[in-house]
Amino acid sequence: IIATIFIRNSIVVQSIKFKRYLPVGNPEITAEAFSNWGADEILLIDISATKNKKSIDLDIVEKVASKCNVPLTVGGGISEPETIKSVLEAGADKICINASILDGKNCVKEGSKKFGRQCMVGSIDFIKQNDQYFVYDYRSSSITDKLLTDALNEYVDKGCGELLINDVTRDGTQIGFDLESIRDVIKNASVPVIWSGGAGRPADFISALKNNTLSGVAAGNIFHFCEHSISLVKSQVLKSVNIRYDTHLNYSDMHVTELGRVSKLSETQLESLKFENLKMEKI
Q: Does the pLDDT at position 47 exceed 90? A: yes
Active site residue 150: no
Q: Give the three-class secondary structure for 106.
A: coil
- Percent of the chain exceeding pLDDT 70 equals 97
Neighbours of 23 (CB within 10 A): 10
Mention every residue, 6+ apart, whose C-beta is less than 8 A from residue 194.
2, 121, 162, 163, 164, 165, 214, 215, 216, 217, 218
Mention every residue, 6+ apart, whose C-beta is less than 8 A from residue 55.
46, 49, 76, 77, 78, 79, 83, 87
**pLDDT tens by residue, 179-210:** 999 999 989 899 999 999 999 999 999 999 98
Q: Dihedral sign, CA of 184, 154, 193, 61?
A: negative
Instruction: Measure the CA–CA gap between 133 and 146, rounded to whole angstroms.
Output: 9
Pick from 266, 256, 142, 274: which is nearest to 205 by CA? 256
Q: Does the pLDDT at position 83 exceed 80? A: yes
**pLDDT tens by residue, 156-186:** 999 999 999 999 999 999 999 999 999 999 8
> For the ranges 20-24, 100-104, 242-246, 278-282, which has the lowest average pLDDT?
278-282
Q: Does the pLDDT at position 119 exceed 80? A: yes
| Set 125, 167, 171, 204: catalytic member | 125
| pLDDT at residue 283, as a whole number | 67
Mean pLDDT of the residues in the chain: 91
Instruction: Measure the CA–CA gap between 160 and 118, rounded to whole angstroms.
Output: 8
Q: Does the pLDDT at position 89 exceed 70? A: yes
